[in-house]
Amino acid sequence: MNLLNHRYGKARVRLMKVSRQGAQHSLKELTVSVLLEGDFGASYTGSDNRLVVPTDTIKNTVNLLAHQKLGQENEEFGALLGRHFLDTYPQVRRVEIELSERVWDRLICAGKPHAHSFQGGTTARQLATVACTREGSVVESGVAGLLILKTTDSGFEGYLKDKFTTLRETNDRILATNLQAKWTYSGRPRDYVAANAAALSAMLDAFAGTYSPSIQRTLFQMGEAALKAVPEIAKVSLSLPNQHCLLVDLSPLGVENKNVLFVPTDEPHGLIEGTVSRG
């Protein structure tokens, strides 16, 4: 019997860091996962744990380095963690760090952002993945769980029809999706926070400002917009579930429903995915 592949680590290490600049506080909440690949086969096949870094040690490392080094750029913290495990343990060949951030917004009090009080933002989470080897690293950023919707400027016509087709064509419909997007950097931007914000802003502008003949077309336009906005991004991968808003039939009640009343539903949903690159 052969062990084809293996990796292990610590998942869902949760932490919250308060940074204080006088009376002004900043808050960052992360969930971090660390996976190690390397010379650990003997622990699987021969009960030999001498090279195994305990997952509790991995957790403690994340916490200590977060206390000392975590700043605004999650990608930079991920790279720092990756370098630490490679530099500290020669048996490690590859480290993959996943970081997911819950965003907290400042409370508005007396019309001004409060110095140290916050409220939970949207369900969206900011993502970063850093894969490190001794030859280099690959950085990927993104967003998950961002629910976006527009009430018009979307349609779906001219599609294949057969005996199974019941969907009616339309050039005016609600378009809603739970955006999942990841973009891979070919080089380090001057500021990851600013670059990520620019990429997301460009995608949302494309979603809101362009007529959508299909989610497939909108996906490409959103990916294209991110690539134009941030030259350091090499490719963008998007997943756009079509969260249908179904027109309520009021005709049995003698009322014509002209795109006013809908039933929002997220299951079952269409799922459109794709990757847009520079070449």
56-97: pLDDT as tens digits: 999 999 999 999 999 999 999 999 999 999 999 999 999 999
Place of tokens 């380095």: 65
> Does the annotation mark 31 as catalytic?
no
Bridge partners for 239 per DSSP: 180, 273
Q: Please say if the pLDDT value at position 268 is more than 80.
A: yes
- Give the CA distances from residue 111 to residues 27, 43, 108, 120, 260, in Å, rounded to whole numbers and listed in that order: 20, 59, 6, 18, 34
- When the pLDDT of each residue in the chain is averaged and rounded to a whole number, the result is 96
Q: What is the mean pLDDT of residues 206-232?
A: 98
- Give the CA distances from residue 173 to residues 36, 68, 204, 209, 232, in Å, rounded to whole numbers and listed in that order: 47, 50, 18, 15, 35
> pTM (2 decimals)?
0.91
DSSP letters, 103-136, are EEEEEEETTEEEEEEEEEEEEEEEEEEEEEETTE
Class of domain 146-277: alpha beta
Structure tokens at 214: 């299909």
**Residue from 10, 28, 84, 182 carrying the catalytic annotation:** 10
120-161: pLDDT as tens digits: 877 899 999 999 999 999 999 999 999 999 999 999 999 999
Asked whether 183 and 226 are in contact (CB, 8 A), the reply is yes
183-200: pLDDT as tens digits: 999 999 999 999 999 999
> Does the annotation mark 265 as catalytic?
no
166-181: pLDDT as tens digits: 999 999 999 999 999 9
pLDDT, position 127: 98
Helix (H), strand (E) at residue 205: helix 192-209
Structure tokens at 252: 């049995």
DSSP letters, 11-65, are EEEEEEEEEEETTEEEEEEEEEEEEEEES-HHHHHS---TTPPPHHHHHHHHHHH
Contacts of 1 (CB under 8 A, 6+ apart): none
25-35: pLDDT as tens digits: 999 999 999 99
Q: Does the structural domain 8-134 have CATH classification 3.30.420.40?
A: no
pLDDT, position 120: 87
Closest-CA residue to 36 (of 133, 121, 154): 133
**Residue from 84, 182, 235, 244 carrying the catalytic annotation:** 244
CATH code 3.10.270.10 region(s) in the chain: 8-134, 146-277
**Residue from 31, 55, 133, 210 carrying the catalytic annotation:** 55
> Does the annotation mark 61 as catalytic?
no
70-80: pLDDT as tens digits: 999 999 999 99
